[in-house]
Chain A
Amino acid sequence: MTDARFVDDARLVIEDVSKWFGQKVAVSEISCSIGPGVTGLLGPNGAGKTTLLRLLVGLLHPSEGRVLVEGVEPQRDPTVLGDVGFVSEDESVYGSLSARQFVRFNATLAGVADPDTATTRALETVALTDVADRRVGDFSKGMRQRAKVAAALVHDPSVLILDEPLNGADPVQRAHLIDLFVQLGNQGRTVLVSSHVLHEVERMADRVIAVIDGRLAAVGGVRSLRTLMTDIPQTIRIDSSDARGLAAALVASPYVGGVSIDDGTVHAKASDPAGLARAIPIVARDLGLSITRVEPEDESLESVFGYLIGRR
C-alpha cells in the first residue's frame, strides 16, 4: 500500500469519517487505518481525538463515512466489540465498588467464562493486587486509571483503544503502563493510545496519527514525518573542538540557512540536511577540527507536532 495513511494489516479502518454535533464539526473527513503495534493519537485539546476514539468503539455514529473494527462496523454489529478493550477519558468507574469488583463486573460484562481468574490476572498486570479490595472511589487518579486499564484488559482483547490512559498516573505508574502497552503491541495486538504527553507517546508508539482541528494532520513514524517537512529547516547539533571556526565555515555553505552557538555547541539550521551531512566532515578536515557529536535536534515528536500545529 502506497498511501501512508493506511497499513496493510489494518484492524481499525476510518473511511472518510466526519462527525458533527449540531453546528460544531468535531471530526472532518478523516481517513486512515491502524494495524498491530502501538499507534499514538495526538492532538491538542479539542482536536477531535476523543470523538474519533468514541466512533471506533461504537459510542458515536459517524455523521458521514464509516469506521470498521476487524472489518465490521461496530454500530451495526456490536459483537465485534467483544474483542476490543476501551479506556474512556472520563472517570467511568463506580466509586463504591472495590477495584476487584469493578474489574470483575467488566469481566462478566465481556462474557468471560472464568471472571475470577481473569480479574486476578488483569489486576496483577496493572500492579493493583495489593489494593484490589479497596474502594475505587478512595483511589488516587493514577490508581483509578490503572483500574480502568485492568477493566479494559480483563477479557484479553486483541484491540485496545485507550483515551489518555496515563492521565493522573505518577512517573513510576506511567513507566509501568507504557511498558505494558509496548508489550501488548509487541504481542501483535492493536493498541491505539491518545495522549497529549508527546515524549511518552514517542516512547511507546511506532506510528502516530496527528489530528488538529478535527482534521487529519499527519500519519506515520516520527522521523519520517520530520523528513517530509522539507519547508522547515532541520536543526542539527554539532559538538566540535572549535565551535566558532566550524560555525563560520558552515554559514558560508549552501546547505545551511543559519547557525548559532550555545555553550560551545553549534546549532545549524539545515536547508539541505543531506548536503550538510556530506559537508561537515569536509569542513572539519579542511579546518583541522575534531567533531565529537552530530545529531538532529528537532526530530522529537514534540518538535514535529509543534511544526504541525504551527502550520495551521
Chain B
Amino acid sequence: MTDRAIIVDRGYRTYDGERRGTGAAVGAIIRDGFRRVLGLRRKARSKLFPWALIGLMVMLAALFVLIQWIAGELTDDLPRYGEYFDTISALPILFMALAAPQLLVPDRTQGVLAVYLSRPLRMGDYLLAKGIALFTLMMALYLTPQLILHLGLAGLAPEGFFTYLGDNADVLWKVPVVAFVYFCLHGSLAVAVASYVPRIGFAAGTYLGIVIIANRLAEFLSEAAFSGARWFAFLAFEQHPRYVRDWVFDLPGQTIMGAAGFEPWAALAAVGAIVAASAVAVWAQYRRLP
C-alpha cells in the first residue's frame, strides 16, 4: 500500500470570477500589441531590433546632452527639438516598418481574427485597439528622447533649470504636435500596407520602398519641364511632416514641397488626405474579413 495518489482529470470546473466587456478586450489587444512589437515575453531575437532602435534614439539624445555637459556650455551647433526630428528621422521609420506589420499581419495570416471577433468586439474596436497601441508606442518613441534632451538641456542651462523650462515652454506643444504629424503620415502608410501584405518582412519592405521611391519620384518629376510638374511634389510623403515641422518651429528647411512653391499647410492637408485614404483602404480590407 502507498499513501501516494494523483487526481489526473478533475473534470470541468467553473470560473466564478468577474467578466468584463469590450473595454477589457480593447485593453488586452493594446497590451498584447506592446508585447508583440517590443518582443516582451519572447525570445531574445524578437527584442533585438526594437530595443536597438529605442536604445539608439535615447542614446543619441543623451549623447547630445553629454557633449554639452563636457563642453561646459549649451551650443546651437547640436540639434534640438525641431532639428532632432531630422537627426533621428530614419529610426522611427524603421521602427514603424517593424511595428505596423507585427500588429496586423499575424492576426490575419494565422487566422486569429476569428478569436478576436468572437469576443465582445467589433472590427472597429479591434482596429481602434491596434491604432492605440501603435500610436502609444510611436509617440513614446518620438517623445522620450526629446524629453531627455529637454530635461538635460534645462539641467545644463546657465540661467537655471526652471528658468530654461519656462523660456522654452513652447516646445511642450510644438514637439508633440510635430510628432503627431509624423505619426499620422507614417502610421497611416504603414498600417495600410500591413493590411494587405501577408508577410511581416514583405510589408516592412513595401512600406519602406513606398517612402523612398515616392520621395525620389517626387524629387525627379517635380523639377521636370512640363506643365503641372510641381504637383508631383505631393508624392514626397516623407517630407510632408518635415515641412510642417519647419512651419511649427520656424526653421529654414529645404523640402521638395517648398521648392515647388507650396505652402506648409498644403503638406499638412496632404497628410490629412493620406490618413483618410489609408483609413478607407484599411476598412475596405477588414470589413470583408475574417
CB nearest to B107 among chain A residues: A94
- Are the CB atoms of A59 and B115 closer together than 8 Å? no
Whole-angstrom distance between the Cβ of B15 and the nearest chain A Cβ:
4
Inter-chain contact B22/A86, CB cutoff 8 Å: no
For residue B110, give the distance in angstroms from its CB to the closest CB of chain A: 6
Q: Which stretch from B66-74, B118-126, B150-158, B217-225 is at the chain A interface?
A: B118-126
In the assembled complex, which residues on chain B have CB atoms less than 8 Å from the CB atom of A114? 17
Residues of A within 8 A of B19 (CB): 82, 110-113, 155-156
Q: Does B15 lie within 8 Å of A84, measured CB to CB?
A: no
Among the listed A106, A108, A155, A187, which residue makes an inter-chain contact with B31, where contact means beta carbons less than 8 Å apart?
Answer: A108
Q: How many interface residues does chain A have, given as a range? A: 35 or more
User: Is A139's CB within 8 Å of the partner chain B?
Assistant: no
B78 touches A (CB below 8 Å):
no
* A197 is an interface residue with CB less than 8 A from chain B: no
When chains A and B are docked, how far (Å) is the Cα of A105 from the Cα of B41?
Answer: 12
Give the contacting residue for B111; candidates A79, A91, A156, A176; CB below 8 A. A91
Q: Mark B1-18, 1 if CB is under 8 A from A, else 0.
A: 000000011111111111
Q: Is the CB of A183 within 8 A of B12?
A: yes
- Whole-angstrom distance between the Cβ of A60 and the nearest chain B Cβ: 9
Contact in complex: A82, B21 (CB < 8 Å)? yes
Whether A81 contacts B118 in the complex (CB less than 8 A), given A91-B110, A92-B111, comes out as: yes
- Establish whether residues B20 and A180, one from each chain, have CB atoms under 8 Å apart when the complex forms: no
Min CB gap A210→B, angstroms? 24
Name A121's closest neighbour in chain B (CB-CB). Answer: B13
- Contact A59 B117, beta carbon cutoff 8 Å: yes
The interface residues of chain B lying within 8 Å CB-to-CB of A91 are 110-111
The number of chain B residues touching the other chain, given as a range, is 35 or more
A281 at the interface (CB under 8 A from B): no
**Is A124 in the interface zone, CB < 8 Å from B?**
yes
Q: Is B28 an interface residue (CB 8 A)?
A: yes
Residue among A57, A127, A156 with most chain B CB within 10 A: A156
CB within 8 Å for A92 and B110 given contacts A58-B118, A82-B119, A180-B12: yes
C-alpha spacing A105/B121, complex, angstroms: 15
Q: Which residues of B lie under 8 Å from residue A59 when comparing CB positions?
A: 114, 117-118, 290
Instruction: From A86, A105, A127, A153, give the contact of B114 (CB < 8 A).
Output: A86
Hey, which chain B residues are within 8 Å of A111, CB to CB? Answer: 18-21, 23-25, 28, 120
Residues on A with C-beta less than 8 A from B24 are 108-111
B42 smallest CB distance to A (angstroms): 7
Chain B 234-246 per-residue mask, 1 if CB under 8 angstroms from chain A, else 0: 0000000000000
- Counting CB contacts under 8 A, is A291 at the interface? no
Instruction: Give Cα distance in the complex from A161 to B119, angstroms.
Output: 12
Contact A78 B111 (CB under 8 A): no
**Contacts A59-B117, A78-B22 given: A109-B9 contact, CB under 8 Å?**
no
A96 at the interface (CB under 8 A from B): yes
- Which residues from chain A contact B20 at a C-beta distance below 8 Å? 111-113
Which residues from chain A contact B28 at a C-beta distance below 8 Å? Answer: 105, 108-109, 111
Q: Which residues of A are found within 8 Å of B9, using beta-carbon distances?
A: 127, 176
Question: Once the chains bind, are B31 and A121 in contact (CB under 8 Å)?
Answer: no
In the complex, chain B residues whose CB is within 8 Å of the CB of A151:
115
- Residue of A78, A95, A156, A176 near B122 (CB, 8 A) is A78
Chain A residue with the shortest CB-CB distance to B14: A156
A58-B118, A96-B42, A109-B116 are known contacts. Are A183 and B11 too (CB-CB below 8 A)?
yes
* 27 interchain pairs, CB-CB under 8 A: A57-B118, A78-B119, A79-B22, A80-B120, A82-B119, A82-B120, A84-B118, A91-B111, A95-B110, A108-B24, A108-B28, A109-B24, A109-B25, A109-B29, A110-B19, A110-B25, A110-B119, A111-B25, A113-B20, A117-B15, A118-B15, A121-B13, A125-B10, A125-B11, A127-B8, A127-B9, A184-B12
Q: What 6 A-B pairs are tightest by C-beta distance, nearest first?
A: A111-B20, A111-B24, A156-B15, A90-B111, A108-B28, A86-B118
Beyond A81-B119, A109-B24, A117-B15: 6 further Cβ-contacts under 8 Å?
A: A84-B118, A92-B110, A108-B31, A111-B28, A151-B115, A153-B12
